[in-house]
Amino acid sequence: MNDSNCIVVFSGGQDSTTCLFWAMEKFKNVIAITFDYGQRHHLEIETARKITSEFEIEHHVIDMSLLSQLSPNALTNHDIKIKSKEDGKLPSTFVPARNLLFLSFAGAIAYNKKARHIVTGVSEADFSGYPDCRDDFIKSMNKTLNLSMDEEFIIHAPLMEKDKAEVWELSDQLGKFEYIRKNTLTCYEGIIGSGCGDCPACDLRKNGLNKYLNKGFIY
């Protein structure tokens, strides 16, 4: 196990919770940070608090409410309908500069906490078309953080090449499959666990789960 401190960007959803458990296996001291950016459901933050409290993880909630004012999007404005990617346009749930700002602040916290490692749950395989979830962006951001603070941070994105079925598989390998299935919040309608079953986030989660179960990995 690595003795270095590790910062996990944590929302309480399936992906970031899988990354939290992944980090707990790799690093001795894990610190979770959650951003309050005016997202549709404050329950997301409460879910993150509950999980980190249960596993005795140091947890910080960072006020990022300004982000909701920068550009209208369906995650911070209830009047905007949730739409998947269509006609070459990004989904209405895309929040411009979200991961750019999140990782910048994570880097600042890492600097003050003397943590070299930063973990984020972005994925290029199942990323809904978000440009700030691509491997190129993460590598560029890693270089930018290092140059901006004259440090040698390492941004880990353990889900980068995994589709949702493979994310479920990883959670199972970590021994946290059932916990993540029942206690994480991915649903855009704010329903913990299996969610509403209809929104794009639930579809992605459900389809990945079915694919994983049908491959006979478990049960």
Identify each DSSP E strand in 37-191 by its residue range: 58-63, 115-119, 154-156
Residue 100 counted as domain residue: yes
Domain contains 171: yes
- 91-118 pLDDT, tens digit per residue, is 555 567 788 989 999 999 999 999 999 9
Let me know if residue 86 belongs to a domain.
yes
Tens digit of each residue's pLDDT (9 = 90 or more) over 182-209: 999 988 888 999 899 888 888 889 999 9
**Would the pLDDT of 4 be above 60?**
yes
Is residue 219, in this structure, part of any structural domain at all?
no
Mean of pLDDT over the chain: 86
**If you search the block for the tokens 């749950």, which residue do you land on?**
121
Q: Say which residue the tokens 């206690």 belong to.
A: 183
Among the ranges given (2-16, 62-76, 152-166), the one the predictor scored with the smallest mean pLDDT: 62-76
Rounded average pLDDT over 53-74: 79
β partners of residue 80: none
Q: Choose among 186, 185, 181, 180: nearest CA to 203.
A: 186
Beta bridge partners of 62: 35
User: Is residue 89 situated within a structural domain?
Assistant: yes
| Inter-residue contact 83 to 10 (CB < 8 Å) | no
2 phi and psi angles, rounded to 5 deg:
-75, 130
- Within 10 angstroms of residue 2's Cβ, the number of other Cβ atoms is 12
Q: Is the model more confident about 76 or about 104?
A: 104
Would you place residue 70 in the very low, low, confident or very high pLDDT band (cuts 50, 70, 90)?
low
Residue 119: give the domain boundaries: 2-214
Say what the pLDDT of residue 132 is.
83
Domain count, the chain: 1
Supply the CATH number for residue 46's domain: 3.40.50.620
Residue 52, pLDDT score: 98
Tell me which of 85-89, 105-109, 169-173 is least confident.
85-89
Burial 12-49 (b: 16+ CB within 10 A, else e): bbbbbbbbbbbbbebbebbbbbbbbbbbbbebbbebbb
